[in-house]
Amino acid sequence: MGYHQLTQEQRYHIYGLQQAGKTQKNMAEIVGVHKSTISREIRRNSGLRGYRPKQAQVIATARKAGAPKREKMTPELTQKIEEKVKMDWSPEQISGRLLREEGIRISHERIYQYIKKDKDEGGTLFKHLRHSGRKRKKRFGSEDRRGQIKNRTSI
């Protein structure tokens, strides 16, 4: 089950259960969310007169409106990324520089995804990467040999 925000209806339900003297654990079971969600909801959205669902909805909506927006891959941004990749910059360097100099928040993983998509479409950006791909640790088939002494004799 993925993350989703509480609805106004759920907030009224929480308020009613709180007024009925239910515990946060009971409220969570009835509303169908984790108990920490109830705890966080009451803590973050309570005012001077306690938890009020209408007020909680207003506070939560305002908080959501003020949250930083996800950066879209605009043509201007992809052009900047391509220029830096062609200069043999790593996605980590590009991500850091865009954040520091232009305030553009984009993860290095997203840049790697863009390069992969470019490769799948016949592009050559991947040739500018320093490593051909992420090295993954083998999980099965062989024991971890680090720290072992070869041909050791037991005492």
Block means of pLDDT (10 residues each) for the chain, length 155 residues? 79 95 94 94 90 92 82 87 94 94 91 93 90 64 73 85
pLDDT at 72: 79
Alpha helix positions (H), 2-155:
8-19, 24-31, 35-44, 53-66, 75-86, 91-97, 108-120
Q: Where on the phi/psi map is residue 97: left (φ > 0), alpha (ψ -120 to 50), or beta?
A: alpha
pLDDT at 10: 94
How many C-beta atoms surround the C-beta of residue 37 within 10 A?
20
Ramachandran angles phi, psi of 141, nearest 5°:
95, -25
pLDDT at 86: 94
pLDDT at 136: 58
Closest among 76, 103, 107 to 92, alpha carbons compared: 107
pLDDT at 1: 46
Q: Where are the domains of the chain?
A: 8-66, 75-128
